[in-house]
Amino acid sequence: MIHLEPHKLWSTGTGQFLANWTSVKVFFFLGFSHYPKVQVIIFAVCLLMYLITLLGNIFLISITILDSHLHTPMYLFLSNLTFLDIWYSSSALTPMLANFVSGRNTISFSGCATQMYLSLAVGSTECVLLPMMAHDRYVAICNPLRYPIIMNRRTCVQIAGGSWMTGCLTALVEMMSVLPLSLCGNSIINHFTCEILAILKLVCVDTSLVQLIMLVISVLLLPMPMLLICISYAFILASILRISSVEGRSKAFSTCTAHLMVVVLFYGMALSMYLKPSTVDSQEIDKFMALVYAGLTPMLNPIIYSLRNKEVKVALKKLLIRNPFNTAFISILK
C-alpha cells in the first residue's frame, strides 16, 4: 500500500519502518467509510454546499466589480474574503467529491502537499483579514470624516496584500516543519482531506517541536486577532451609544452585523478545531467539524453579507432592472 524508496527505508528498535513522508507516492483517505449508510447523504450535502458556496461567492465578487458604488475599502476586503472562501472550499471539498465518484479515495503526494498548503494559507490569511475588516468598520464609524484619508486605496491594497503574505508565510513555516518528519510505514489518512493534524497522526517520531510551532502560530492567528476585533468593536459600540437618534444607531450598527456574524462563525469553528483541550482526541469528531468548517462557513458568508447588507441588495436591483424579465424577482427583494 505504501511505496517507498529503498534507500529511504530503515528500521527502529521496535521493528517499525520509517520514511520521510515526501517518499510516499500515494495517500489513502478513510474519509467517512465508517458510516457507509450515510455516505451518499454526506456526498449530496457536500455537493450542495459547494455549489452554493461557488455561486454565492462568485455573485458577491461579480456584483462588487460591476457596481461602482461598491468600490470601497469594505467591499475590497469582502472580495478578498469571498475569494478565500472559494479557494478553501474547493481545496477541501472537490477532491473528496471526486474521490467519492471515482471510488478511489487516494491522492498523490504532490496533491496532498498542495491541498495542505492551500488550506493552511487560506485559513491563515482569513484570520488576518477579519481583524483588518473590523479596523475598517472602526475607522468608518469612530472617525468618519477622516475615513477616506486613513483608508485610502493604497492603504487598503497594502492591508489586503499583507494579509495574503502573512497567511502564505505562516503556512510555509508549518509545511516546512512537517515535511522532514518520518512516517511509520503508513499512508492511510483518517480524514477526507490532507489536514495537518491528521498527517501528524501518521508520524512516529517526536513532534513536540512541530506542535510548539503550530501552537505559537495558532495563538498568533486566533486569540490575538480576536482580541483586536473585540477592542475595535468596543470602541465602535461606545461610539454608537453616543449617537442620539435611534435611526442613526441602527444604521451604524447595521454596517457591522454581517461582519460580526462571519467572525463568530469563523473563529468559533477554528478555535474548536485547533485549540481544543488535549484530552479531547476524537478523529471522527474532527472530520465532521472540518466538514462544517470547509463547507458550511464559506457557504453562509455570502448569504450573510447579501441578506444583511442593503448596499448589496440595491446593487443587485440595479443590475436586474436592466433586464425587463426580472421584475418579479425585484419585487421579492423589496
Q: What mean pLDDT comes out for the span 11-30? A: 60
- The band of 320, judged by pLDDT with boundaries at 50, 70 and 90, is low
- DSSP designation for 180: T
In this prediction, residue 228 carries a pLDDT of 92
d(CA 195, CA 309): 34
Give dist(CA 107, CA 187) in Å, integer: 10
Whole-angstrom Cα distance, residue 191 to residue 32? 8
pLDDT, residue 23, reads: 64
Distance CA 253, CA 249 (A): 6
**pLDDT over 80 (residue 185):** no
What pLDDT sits at residue 282?
67
DSSP state of 38: G
Whether residue 296 has pLDDT greater than 90: no
Range of weakest confidence among 38-52, 76-90, 296-310 = 296-310
Residue 221 contacts residue 128 (beta carbons within 8 Å): yes
User: Which range is least confidently modeled, 117-121, 181-185, 211-215, 289-293?
Assistant: 181-185
pLDDT at 255: 75
pLDDT score for 234: 92
Residue range 27-56, pLDDT digits in tens: 888 878 777 778 888 889 999 999 999 998
- Looking at the DSSP assignment, which residues form a beta bridge with residue 107? 27
Angle between helices 208-221 and 109-142 (to 10 degrees): 30
Q: Say what the pLDDT of residue 292 is.
A: 82
Alpha-carbon dihedral 233, 294, 166, 78, rounded to 10 degrees: -50
Cα within 13 Å of Cα(194), Cβ side? 26
- Residue 135 has a pLDDT of 92
Q: Is the pLDDT reported for residue 252 higher than 60?
A: yes
Element (H, E) at 266: helix 246-274
Q: Are 5 and 83 in contact (CB under 8 A)?
A: no
DSSP assigned state of 16: -
How distant, in Å, are the alpha carbons of 28, 56, 70 from that of 301?
A: 31, 9, 17
pTM, two decimals, is: 0.82
Between 94-103, 135-144, 225-234, the lowest mean confidence (pLDDT) is in: 94-103
What is the rounded average pLDDT for all residues in the chain? Answer: 80
Cell numbers found for residue 147:
475615513
Confidence at 125, pLDDT banded by 50, 70, 90: very high
Q: Which of 52-56, 59-63, 171-175, 255-259 has the lowest mean pLDDT?
A: 255-259
User: What is the chain's alpha carbon radius of gyration, rounded to the nearest angstrom?
Assistant: 23
| The one-letter amino acid at 278 | S
Q: In degrees rounded to 5, what are phi and psi of residue 28?
A: -115, 130
Task: Please give the Cα distance from 90 to 325 (Å, whole number).
Answer: 33
Give the model confidence (pLDDT) of 84-107 as tens digits: 999 989 988 888 888 888 878 888
Q: Would you state the torsion angle of the CA atoms of residues 89, 94, 96, 102, taken in this order, to the nearest 10 degrees?
A: 170
Q: Once rounded to an integer, what is the mean pLDDT over residues 293-322?
A: 74
Q: Does domain 6-333 sit in CATH 1.20.1070.10?
A: yes
Q: Which of 104-118, 204-218, 292-306 has the lowest average pLDDT? A: 292-306
Distances (CA, A) of 72 to 130, 311, 312: 16, 11, 12
Would you state the pLDDT for residue 1? 36
